A and B are shown apart, each in its own frame.
Chain A
Amino acid sequence: MPESPKMIGRVTRCSTRGFVGAMQISENALPVFGSLCQAEAQGGRSYVVGLVYDISITDDQFARQLAALDEVPQEQIADGQLNRQVPVEFSALAVGFHDDDGFHQSLPPQPPLTLASVFSMVPNDAVDFTSELHFLQMILNAPQLPVDELLATSLRLSAQARPEEERERFLLQAGREVARLLAQDLTRLENILRGLRAKE
């Protein structure tokens, strides 16, 4: 039975270039750096595809006071991690969108609206989306992001979404596309390519 998308948060800030989602969720349900997610847009007629590039947990007054104690009771730790007053935030770079015609690897026509639902992308959709690699250029063009790490991790995760026998071929194809884009910067290219293989 195909896996159904899990809701991982709601949009709190957004633009056509990306969005920030937040939710009070367990550690296990946290989105992963470099993973793909989708946020509803245009009244449900489309989904913006985002690539998670940052996950942040901001502090609150109570957590700061508890951190100052010599010993924090387990109940307090569990309460602080599960029943947080300030939700976990994750930031996603818009790398495409999905509409009636399928996936597109370009910026979405409209961003998701505030409190729009954000879902993790199921492996089948991730495979479908990454069957084209034009989105790599959008990652490389993103300012002030850990681009190289993001690129390597997202491709590695995309490979893992595929059947085992297809992973090597996908990584090779993706590696060649990255090489095409970064042909003039061999040092950087080599780091990314090593990242593709690092945790396979």
Chain B
Amino acid sequence: MSDSSELDAYFGPKRDERPLGIVLDGSLSAGLQVKLDPRYAIEKLAVGRYVVIQSRITGSTFFGIITDIALGATTPDLLHHPPDAADTFLLDVYSGGVAYATLHVSPMLMLDEEDDQPRPIKTIPSHFSAIYEATAQDVARVFGEEDDEHFYIGTPLDMEDVQVNLDLARFVERSSGVFGKTGTGKSFVTRTILAGIIRSGLASTLIFDMHNDYGWSIKDESGREYKGLRQLFPDGRVSVITLDEATSRARGSKFDGTLTIGYEEIEPEDIELLASLLGLSDIQTGALYFLYRRLGKKWISKLLDEQYEEEIQNILESGRIVGGTLGAIQRKLESFIPRMGFLVPGEGSKVVDDIFQRLNIGTSVVLEFGNYGNTLAAYVLVANYLTRRIHASYVHRKNLAAGKKGEEPRPLVIVIEEAHKFLDPSVAGHTIFGNIARELRKYNVTLLIVDQRPSGIEDEVMSQIGTRVTCLLDNEADIRAVFSGVSGASALREVLARLDTRQQALILGHAVPMPVVVRTRDYDQRFYAAMGMDETNDSAGQKPSGEDKLFPD
């Protein structure tokens, strides 16, 4: 006969005999109401904790998450006539009986022994089914093992030995989002996920690195330094292209090229997205297309350079555009374009083809903005400019592949920050980013949007976001936006609003079997090693100490 340790090894340790409580009420859509056993201290439970519900009738096991905790009383009189606080006997008698605690549990999955994989629930456990705290084995069964396609992103709260693994194949299959207030660790989470994607080779990534957070070393608020993606993957899997050589050099970044965009390469569509940032009215925006048609490829130069005044005058005399409109366009472009050093007269560095080639052989590209990251219009212009062209190349390549005249383009994830500037309801309908978010994986291009104001993103786009990684949000509209298009997730609102300000995130959607609150893994030396980085050959990067953690205690 096997002893208990052998049985434990096979089945996992025996579940605590004492249930947390019993199911009293609920529905599939609204979740379950559970009365807490009075022997448990309510303070020791927390929203986001996992529970297992054992059906009293069939023995089926349901896996769920605590989404709310409440106090109740059997009679409203107790609220009007509470017991004397000094009478501990009365307080003890009332606690757990007349005055009790309830848990709201959202059941998510069924864990039946005969099934290999957890199944989405289609029913709920019967009345008085017992509910237990989930064991590490239960949680591990839900989130599976780490492998080439499953990336360890963090640990569930209070379960440091259990890994939550993100299904990267599903993550890159649809557009995804990383949301959270400023200072909640969005960039660290994003960098961690991007490292996982790059290591897996499942997709190339094009990162519009507004604040120089991804390519080379990064310092946190306390001045500690962490490695960028190019340092993590020194074997050429990551290229850094800069828009601001001087700043990149000053920061000690290694970069593989410099991007310049020629005036002649700019099209009205590239400027249109800047309308609100430059203060262009609808009429002025419409006039851009007319000017481009009349002035040709050199339209920007002709609008900015006085030597073409005669040609401009001819346009005015044609009566197709009024002087006020033209003058406003010129003033607004003059206030922006000449200040951007990466915008050059004539033709630029022709780097689009180079970037496309890099992406197509599996190299990820970090586009470092240097000081231009402080100018939102520069960021929007470059992201829009490159994405439109690269997306067009992907569409072309995909069409060739459909006609069996070429190979499928390699899946691409485009990372944009301040995404609400590209995807707000007034522009999302006709920008390339809105199109990419809506067309899903049709052309093998998806977005990873990083934003602190998800409420600013168009609803339709948000509803297409497959996986949402959300750090702390406390604005009601933002919280609502994160859950838009996610069925049954409203119960998680309380969980989201109560995340810690650092290193905690709620992940829900396509890449995880159920919503999960994680303490994201430390971005430290162990992480570097897990990404395959050999510290001894790392001459370029800073060497963090063994104690270095992303968020020190």
Contacts and interface: CB of A to CB of B under 8 A. Distances in A.
A187 B78 CA distance: 10
A21 to B, nearest CB: 34
A3 B81 CA distance: 45
B92 A172 contact: yes
B183 interface: no
Contacts of A6: none
Interface stretch (A74-82, A116-124, A177-185): A177-185
A183 B96 CA distance: 12
Contacts of B93: 172, 175-176, 178-179, 193
A134 interface: no
B78 A186 contact: yes
Interface string A151-186: 000000000000000000001100110111001101
Nearest to B80: A186
A189 B73 CA distance: 14
A124 B2 CA distance: 41
Contacts of A180: 97-98
Contacts of A186: 75, 77-78, 81, 98
A183 B89 contact: no
A171 B97 contact: no
Interface in A81-110: none
B314 interface: no
B99 to A, nearest CB: 9
A193 B90 contact: yes
Contacts of A175: 89, 92-93
Contacts of B78: 186
Contacts of A183: 74-75, 97-98
A61 B446 CA distance: 107
B96 A171 contact: no
Interface in A20-75: none
A132 interface: no
B95 to A, nearest CB: 9
A187 B81 CA distance: 9
A128 interface: no
Contacts of A187: 81
Given A176-B97, A183-B74, A183-B98, A171 B83 contact: no
A41 to B, nearest CB: 35
B527 to A, nearest CB: 51
B94 interface: yes
Interface string B67-106: 0000000110110010100000110111011100000000
A176 B75 CA distance: 15
Nearest to A168: B89
A39 to B, nearest CB: 33
- Most B C-beta atoms less than 10 A away, residue of A171, A172, A176: A176
A197 B91 CA distance: 13
B91 to A, nearest CB: 11
A193 B74 CA distance: 17
A191 B290 CA distance: 89
Contact of A193 (B38, B77, B89, B96): B89
A125 interface: no
B74 A184 contact: yes
A176 B77 CA distance: 17
A190 B75 contact: no
A187 B77 CA distance: 9
A190 B74 CA distance: 14
Contacts of B74: 183-184
Nearest to B82: A186
Contact of A172 (B77, B83, B89): B89
Nearest to B96: A176
B484 to A, nearest CB: 42
Interface string B31-75: 000000010000000000000000000000000000000000011
A178 B90 CA distance: 12
A195 to B, nearest CB: 12
B90 A190 contact: yes
Contacts of B38: 176
Nearest to B92: A172
B37 to A, nearest CB: 12
A184 B90 contact: no
B98 A179 contact: yes
B550 to A, nearest CB: 47
- Most B C-beta atoms less than 10 A away, residue of A171, A180, A187, A190: A190
A121 to B, nearest CB: 26
B308 to A, nearest CB: 88
A187 B98 CA distance: 13
B461 to A, nearest CB: 51
A158 to B, nearest CB: 16
Contacts of B96: 176
A187 B75 CA distance: 11
- Most A C-beta atoms less than 10 A away, residue of B83, B89, B92, B93: B93
B75 to A, nearest CB: 6
A179 B75 contact: no
Nearest to A171: B89
Contacts of B81: 186-187
A192 to B, nearest CB: 10
A177 to B, nearest CB: 8
B75 A197 contact: no
A110 to B, nearest CB: 36
A176 B74 CA distance: 13
Contacts of A196: 89
A140 B94 CA distance: 19
A59 B89 CA distance: 43
11 contacts: A171-B89, A175-B92, A176-B93, A176-B96, A179-B93, A180-B97, A183-B97, A184-B74, A187-B81, A190-B90, A197-B89
Given A179-B98, A186-B98, A193-B93, 4 more contacts: A171-B89, A179-B93, A180-B98, A183-B75
Interface of B: 38, 74-75, 77-78, 81, 83, 89-90, 92-94, 96-98
Interface of A: 171-172, 175-176, 178-180, 183-184, 186-187, 189-190, 193, 196-197
